[in-house]
Amino acid sequence: MTVETSIYAGQCFEDDNDWGICPYCNAYKWHADHGGTLSLGTWTGGEGHWGANPEAMEFSGGSDANCHSERSSEVYWYCWYAVNTAVVHLNHIEMFWDEVPAKCHYKAYIYTPLACDWAKNPN
């Protein structure tokens, strides 16, 4: 997944806990207690690489509902097989979200085989 393909394809991912991301566009969370869909930020830059030189997809300017400031997020693509042994389809995606290092700032990891070095560089 690259900046070019995500923006134009409109590809978004949402997990069973209603956390969602549209890579290189926006991040969000459905939360009925806080008015429905909460913005976790709009993409401001970064590719989302994880590894020797990590570079997060950065999102800022999100909702300030129940926060003292606007929500923000950092999101990384992560190789499925770096942390899992189960063999899955190439297009398999799972996400892990955490609210760190402070309230209303989130880090997310998108686990997929497509983020593995062998899938990114097939030559």
Distances 9 to 18, 23, 24 between C-alpha atoms, Å: 21, 10, 11
| Cα–Cα distance, 10 to 47 (Å, whole number) | 16
Domain range for 114 is 3-120
Question: How confident is the model at residue 122, as a pLDDT?
Answer: 63
> What residue type is assigned to position 22 of the chain?
C
The CATH number for 62's domain is 2.70.130.10
Reported as a single tens digit per residue, the pLDDT across 22-71 is 998 999 999 888 778 999 999 999 999 887 789 999 999 999 988 999 99
Number of domains in the chain: 1
For the ranges 1-5, 9-13, 51-55, 62-66, the maximum mean pLDDT occurs at 62-66
Question: How confident is the model at residue 32, as a pLDDT?
Answer: 83
Question: How confident is the model at residue 101, as a pLDDT?
Answer: 82
Predicted structure pTM score: 0.85
Task: Give the position of tokens 């097989």.
Answer: 81
Report percent pLDDT > 70 for the chain.
Answer: 90
Q: How many CB atoms lie within 10 A of CB 94?
A: 16
Residue 100 pLDDT class (50, 70, 90 cuts): confident
| Cα–Cα distance, 61 to 70 (Å, whole number) | 5
